[in-house]
Amino acid sequence: MNGPSVPTDGTSVATALCPTGYTVVGGGYTSDGPNSYLGPGERGHPNSTNTGWQVPAPLDNTPGAAIHAWAICLPIG
């Protein structure tokens, strides 16, 4: 899992990558921090190479909040 801080201005992206030789088939996110971040408008999507799951974390105004992406991966082939 990957957990960048949720920005108070702009957008950050949390990304969970699959191991080499795997492709992403799904994913999601969790969040933590003060006042528990409520999450982005979307639940995320595969990255452009289908090797990970990414979740945008937009403007939040909750200092110290973080978002953690997770990916469901399957072996290729």
The full set of domain ranges for the chain reads 12-72
Give 26-70 pLDDT, tens digit per residue.
998 887 765 444 555 567 899 999 999 998 876 566 666 777 889
Residue 73 forms beta bridges with which residues? 24
Higher pLDDT, 19 or 38: 19
pLDDT band at 77 (very low <50, low <70, confident <90, very high): confident
Determine contact, residues 6/68, Cβ cutoff 8 Å: no
Q: For residue 70, which of 20, 11, 25 has the smallest C-alpha distance?
A: 25
Query: What's the pTM value of the predicted model, to 2 decimals?
Result: 0.74
Determine contact, residues 3/66, Cβ cutoff 8 Å: yes
At residue 2, the pLDDT reads 47
